Structure 1
C-alpha cells in the first residue's frame, strides 16, 4: 500500500508525526536527558490515537470503528483498489503484538484448556488439542476479516479489489539516535489448511502456544484470550524518518493559545447509534435482519389455490401418503393463524420438517417450489430502528423534512413514500442507495430498489451468514459487530456504519435500551 499512496500525502503524514515526536523531551524524566545528549536520547513518542487521526487526515481515510480487530481505517487508492488498514505503533525492538481478542469464545474453550494443563503435567503430547484451538481461533479471525472486507467493498464487490495491510510506526529505543521506522506487512486471513503447531510458549504456560500458517506466526495466550502476531519488525521497514528534538519544547506549549481560533464548521449535523440485539442479547426473530425467516408473504386469498397447484404438479412423483403429508403440512403452515411467539416456533419447526422431506425425496424442483410457498425471499431484510415512534417524535426531520411525522393519533407515517426517501451512504465503501422510512411507527429503513442486493451484502457479507441462517447475538459477538451508527450530513445524506458498542459504556448518541442503562 505504502508505495501506492500519494507522495504529498505521505509528506503531510510524516510532518505531522515527526513534529509531534519532536516534542518527546517534554514528556521525559530528567534523568533521561541530562549531561551528554548524544548518549541519552529519549525514545521518540508516537501516540497511537494521534497516529490514527493523522493517518485519516493525511490519506483521506475512513475510520473503521470495529472492536477487537486491527482495522482502524480504510483507504481508497482509486475506484478499483481499496485497503483495510491496521494501524499500530511499537518499538523497533519489540516482540509479538496483539492482533485480536476472543473473550466470549474463550469460555467455550475452558474444557480443552483444562485438558491441556492436565495432559501436559503427565507428559502427554497436546498437539491435537492445540490444532483444535488453532482452527477455532483461525475461523473466528477469518470471519471478522471477511466481514470487514465486505463492508469496504460494498455492493460492487466483483469489481473492487480490497487488500488488508498492517501499517506500523516503530520508534527507536532510548539511547539511540531518534528515528521512526515505517513498516508494512500483509494482513491476511489465516490459512487454515496449512496450520502447523509450534508448541507451548514455555513449560510453565502450556495453554499459551504458537502456530503458523506459513505466512505469519501467531501466539495465543489463554489468560487474556488474545491472539498475537510476529511482525518481524526490521524486515518490514519501507521508510525511515529522522526526528529532530526541539531545543525548548516548553516554549511551544506556552504559545499554543495564540493559535486558537474559530473551528471549521462540521459537515455532520447529528449522529445516532444503537445496539442490534435486545437487552438480553437476542436479535429480533422473523423481522429486521431476520425478515427472510418470517412467515410467507403469499396473499391469503391465493394460498389454497397455490397448494392445490403444487400437489397437482407433483402428483405423479409422490406416493399417496407423501402427497397427503405435503398437503397437510402446507395447509397447516399457510392456512393456520400463527400468532404467539411459541406458535411461530412450531410453524418454523413444521416448515423445516417439510423442507427436509422435500430435499431427501430427490424430486427435481420440489424443494425449490415448496420454499417459494412457505418462505420469504432469502435475502429479504430491513434495517430496524429501535424505539422508532419516540425517535421520530423527537427527531421528525432526521430523515428529511417531516419524514418522521405521523397521521394524528396513529402510528402511520403521514407523508407518501417519495417524501420519506433519502440517500443512504455506506461510509466504509462509499456506496449510496435510495432508502426510505417504512412500516408501522416508521421502524424500518428499507432500500427503494436493490432490496436483494442490499440483503445479500448485509447477510452474506457483513454478517457472514449462510443462506437461511438467522442472525444471532452469538454471531455478532464472534464478528465484534453489535451496533449501527447513522450520521446526518448537511447535504441531506444519511451515513451508516456497522460498529461495536460497549453496552457498559455506551456512546452519547446511543438510543434504545442501551441508552437507558
Structure 2
C-alpha cells in the first residue's frame, strides 16, 4: 500500500488538508457527513505527497508517485461494500453492444485490462492501487486496495439484470451498466487491515463567516498547489479524414514512398481548422519548442510541412519511437490502424501550451478531437 510508506510529515499534512476542506462542508450541504469534491481530493493528495497529477490525462490513474499509479476516489461509506465507477466504455460501445452476456463481459474485461496496461506503460508505472477517502458521519476514513486487472479466465457468476450485468473473478465483484457503459467495482472496506487511517472532521457551523474573517485578517495563503500556467489547450486527431489512420501519412508516415525513411518517422496531423481558429497557438514553422511527455521527459519538436500540417520531433524518428514503439508497442513495419487506437480507448492528443517554447502532450479518449472540433472550430 501507499499511505503508510510516505514520510510522516507528508501524512500529517495530508490529514491536515483534509480536515480543513472537510470543515467547510456546510458550504455545500447540511448533511452530518462531511463533503469532499473529488477534484479537490486529487489536488490535496498531489500537494501533500508531491505526486504527479495525471487527472487531466484520460488514463486509469489520477496520480503517480515514484513508480506507483494511484486511482483516487472519494465516496460515502454506507455499508462499506459499495460499488463505485472505475471505467467508462461509451466510445467502445459498437465493439460489444451486440454480444451475448458472457462475450460482452469478456470484452469489457479485455478493454479494462488494456487501459490499465496502457496507463502503466506510458507513465512507467510498475504497480497501481486505489486510494479512497470514505465519508462517514463526522469523519473521514482512508482505505487502499489494489487496482487489479480482471482475471478473464476466472470470470464467473455472470448475472443479467434489467440494466446491469454483475460478475466476479474470485478477486473482485463487478457490475457493468448497460445504459451508461460504465464498469463498477465493489470496494470492501470491512477488512480493517485496508483501513489505514480515520479521523474526525469538525464541520464549521458557519464556514462562510470563518472564511470572511480569514480574509479580513489577510491570511490568504492557498493550500493548493497551482498547476503550471496553461495559456491555451487544443486537441489533435491521431487519424485522418473518415476516422482512418492512413497507410502512408500521419502516424504511418514511415511507410510513404519517395525516399528512404526511418521506420519510426511519423507526424501528428494538424488540421487546417486548428491554424485558422488558433493562429498563434504554435510557433512559426520549423521554430523549435519543447514538448513535455506524460512520463516527464521532454522532446525537442517543431511544426513542419506545407501549411504547418505536421507536428514532428526534431529528429524525425524520436516521436515515432515514443508513440509507435514505447506506447503502442508496434513492431517496425507494422501499420497503425484506428482499431488499435480504439482498443486502447484513445484517438486524440491534448496539447497544453505553457509558453511559445514549451508545450505538454497527453493522450485523450475517443472522440476528444471531434468534440473539440464541434465546440471550438469554425471550419
TM superposition score category, shorter chain reference: 0.7 to 0.9
Q: Give distance in 2, aligned partners of 1:8 and 1:272.
A: 36
* 1:265/1:11 CA distance change after superposition, 3 Å: closer
1:71 deviates by 2.2
Is 1:91 equivalent to 2:76 in the alignment? yes
1:111 deviates by 3.1
1:106 deviates by 3.1
Is 1:215 equivalent to 2:176 in the alignment? no
1:229 deviates by 1.2
* 1:382/1:100 CA distance change after superposition, 3 Å: same
* 1:108/1:267 CA distance change after superposition, 3 Å: closer
Q: Give distance in 2, aligned partners of 1:444 and 1:104.
A: 26
Q: Please give the secondary structure, in 2, of the residue aligned with 1:110.
A: coil
**Do the aligned partners of 1:436 and 1:446 also contact (CA within 8 Å) in 2?**
yes
Q: Give distance in 1, aligned partners of 2:87 and 2:146.
A: 15
Query: 1:166 aligns to what?
Result: 130
* 1:468/1:513 CA distance change after superposition, 3 Å: farther
Query: 1:390 aligns to what?
Result: 275
The structure whose Rg is larger is: 1
**Do the aligned partners of 1:388 and 1:442 also contact (CA within 8 Å) in 2?**
no
Q: Please give the secondary structure, in 2, of the residue aligned with 1:234.
A: coil
* 1:103/1:388 CA distance change after superposition, 3 Å: closer
Could you tell me which runs of 5 or more consecutive residues in structure 2 were left unpaired when the two chains were aligned: none
User: Residue 424 of structure 1 is aligned with which of 291, 294, 313?
Assistant: 291
User: TM-score, normalising length from structure 1?
Assistant: 0.62
1:46 deviates by 1.6
Structure having the higher helix fraction is 1
Q: Please give the secondary structure, in 1, of the residue aligned with 2:42.
A: helix
Q: Give distance in 2, aligned partners of 1:286 and 1:514.
A: 29
1:472 deviates by 4.0
1:381 deviates by 1.5
**Do the aligned partners of 1:207 and 1:222 also contact (CA within 8 Å) in 2?**
yes
**Do the aligned partners of 2:274 and 2:377 also contact (CA within 8 Å) in 1?**
no
Is 1:273 equivalent to 2:234 in the alignment? yes
Q: Give distance in 1, aligned partners of 2:309 and 2:369.
A: 22
* 1:103/1:256 CA distance change after superposition, 3 Å: same
Query: 2:354 aligns to what?
Result: 489
Q: Compare 278-287 and 91-100 and name the one that shifted more.
A: 278-287
| RMSD over aligned Cα atoms | 3.5
Q: Please give the secondary structure, in 2, of the residue aligned with 1:484.
A: strand
Query: 1:64 aligns to what?
Result: 55
- Number of aligned pairs? 368
Residues 314-337 of structure 1: per-residue CA shift (max 9 Å, x gap)? xxxxxxxxxxxxxxxxxxxxxxxx
Q: Give distance in 1, aligned partners of 2:247 and 2:233.
A: 23
Query: 2:265 aligns to what?
Result: 380
Residues 446-503 of structure 1: per-residue CA shift (max 9 Å, x gap)? 2234x54542331244345565454444444443323323334359332222223646
